[in-house]
């Protein structure tokens, strides 16, 4: 089912310094992950074992819901490593004002969790899958990454009936840029959408600009046409048609061009990292210690005021292009 642009809410507006309305929270539940994707978890990055507790996640969901947040995406690290994940989903779903819960996963545990997650309240699912080559997958994502297991998770997600399933593909020159068409067609077999994401400067590798990704897709057998489908986040879509196993096929293809097609003008997001700190911008280093406020006796209203103040310091645009080596690791930021 295509995503629709969110309807305006009557809740008090949560605004940043440029007057952009913030309605979308990306909440990292842990910075632990059983994969080691080079662009997310570079060598030498340490994780921390003091994530927000279940009661703290539930409280933040209520506070953000009261500020006008309508959608929450649960991220990591790898959120399925939280043993209390299903309870966390139920808690966030019960928060007044929250209309939708999405989750991003590497798919390793998805075969057994897809249906329970759907029943707990997750409606939209993103699965990271950068290649269909098992050996290449292990090179990109580490020895624990097993293609058959991830595919079984995608199959389970398809059977569970999520409103949408998306396959996140970070395009790295010389690694997976030769199989983008195959990834798009693979996604369509499961009613999913492949989203091609420009590599950001959180780790090694050479990026492929989105305009070039489109040319590669067309050269790999996809005919692309404009499509107006938009969701809550920065991705935009095109309609692709091709042949798969001798049959005509079609579906959506998504693009996130963070580096060459900046989406800052329409930014509607705020992040809470695995350390419990608010990050107003993916490319920024400023943090507000929400965990310290939660554990230090601050009231809900005091926390809400601190969130509003932090967002008023959000810059007009990110500066990712000039920030290599200076950014907080993606694994702790939560994407």
List the chain pLDDT tens, one digit each, 335 residues: 445 444 445 556 999 999 999 999 999 999 999 998 877 766 556 666 789 999 999 999 999 999 999 999 999 999 999 999 999 999 999 999 999 999 999 999 999 999 999 999 999 999 999 999 999 999 999 999 999 999 999 999 999 999 999 999 999 999 999 999 999 999 999 999 999 999 987 677 899 999 999 999 999 999 999 999 988 888 999 999 999 999 999 999 999 998 887 778 889 999 999 899 999 887 667 899 999 999 999 999 999 999 999 999 888 766 655 555 555 666 666 66
Within a domain: 284: yes
Q: Which residues contact 106 (CB under 8 A, 6 or more apart)?
A: 33, 34, 35, 37, 78, 80, 127, 128, 141, 145, 150
Name the token pair of 146: 């097993």
- Flag whether 5 is in a domain: no
Q: How many CB atoms lie within 10 A of CB 308?
A: 15
Output the pLDDT for position 6. 47
Is 113 among the domain residues? yes
Q: What pLDDT, in 10s, does the model give residues 272-331?
A: 998 999 998 876 678 999 999 999 999 999 999 999 999 998 887 666 555 555 556 666
Cis ω for the linkage preceding 47 (within 30 of 0): no
Asked if the structure places residue 16 within a domain, the reply is: no
> Does residue 32 sit in helix, strand or coil?
coil
Q: Exposure pattern of 78-109 as b/e (b: 16+ CB <10 Å)?
A: bbbbbeebbebbebbbebebbbbbbbbbbbbb
Rounded Cα–Cα distance for residues 40 and 33 (Å): 10
Domain with 227 in it: what CATH number?
3.20.20.70
User: What number of CA atoms fall less than 13 Å from residue 125's CA on the CB side?
Assistant: 37
What's the count of helices (H) and strands (E) in the chain, helices before strands? 10, 12
Is position 92 within any domain?
yes
The whole-number pLDDT of residue 46 equals 61
Report the DSSP beta bridge partners of residue 223. 241
Strands (E), 172-268: 193-198, 223-230, 236-244, 247-256
C-alpha distance from residue 119 to each of 16, 23, 53, 73, 271 (Å): 34, 24, 22, 16, 25
Task: Let me know if residue 55 belongs to a domain.
Answer: yes
Residue with tokens 């020159």: 173
Q: Looking at the domain assignment, is residue 249 inside a domain?
A: yes
The two tokens of residue 22 are: 């913030």
- Give the total number of structural domains in the chain: 1
Copy the structure tokens of residue 219: 């050269």
| CA pair distance 9, 322, nearest whole angstrom | 36
The answer to whether position 291 is within a domain reads yes
The whole domain housing 285 covers 24-333
CA–CA dist 317, 263 (Å, integer): 9
């Amino acid at each position: 089912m295509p995503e629709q642009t969110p309807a305006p809410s009557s809740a008090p507006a949560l605004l940043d310094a440029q007057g952009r309305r913030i309605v979308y929270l990306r909440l990292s539940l842990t910075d632990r992950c059983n994969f080691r994707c080079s662009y997310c978890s570079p060598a030498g990055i340490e994780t921390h074992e003091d994530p927000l507790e279940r009661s703290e996640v539930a409280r933040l969901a209520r506070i953000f819901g009261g500020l006008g947040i309508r959608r929450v995406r649960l991220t990591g690290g790898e959120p399925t490593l939280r043993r209390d994940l299903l309870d966390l989903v139920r808690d966030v779903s019960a928060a007044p004002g929250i209309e939708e819960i999405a989750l991003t996963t590497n798919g390793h545990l998805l075969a057994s969790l897809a249906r329970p997650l759907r029943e707990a309240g997750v409606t939209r699912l993103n699965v990271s899958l950068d290649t269909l080559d098992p050996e290449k997958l292990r090179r990109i994502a580490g020895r624990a990454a097993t293609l058959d297991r991830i595919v079984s998770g995608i199959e389970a997600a398809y059977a569970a009936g999520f409103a949408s399933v998306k396959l996140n593909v970070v395009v790295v020159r010389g690694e997976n840029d030769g199989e983008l068409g195959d990834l798009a067609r693979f996604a369509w077999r499961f009613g999913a959408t492949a989203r091609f994401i420009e590599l950001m400067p959180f780790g090694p590798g050479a990026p492929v600009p989105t305009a070039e990704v489109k040319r590669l897709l067309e050269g790999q057998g996809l005919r692309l046409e404009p499509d107006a489908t938009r969701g809550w986040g920065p991705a935009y879509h095109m309609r692709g048609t091709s042949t798969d196993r001798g049959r005509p096929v079609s579906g959506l293809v998504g693009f996130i061009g963070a580096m060459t097609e900046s989406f800052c003008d329409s930014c509607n997001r705020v992040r809470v990292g695995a350390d419990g700190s608010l990050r107003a911008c993916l490319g920024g280093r400023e943090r507000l210690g929400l965990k310290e406020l939660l554990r230090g006796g601050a009231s809900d209203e005091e926390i809400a005021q601190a969130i509003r103040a932090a967002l008023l310091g959000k810059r007009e645009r990110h500066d990712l292009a000039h920030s290599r080596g200076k950014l907080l690791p993606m694994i702790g930021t939560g994407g």
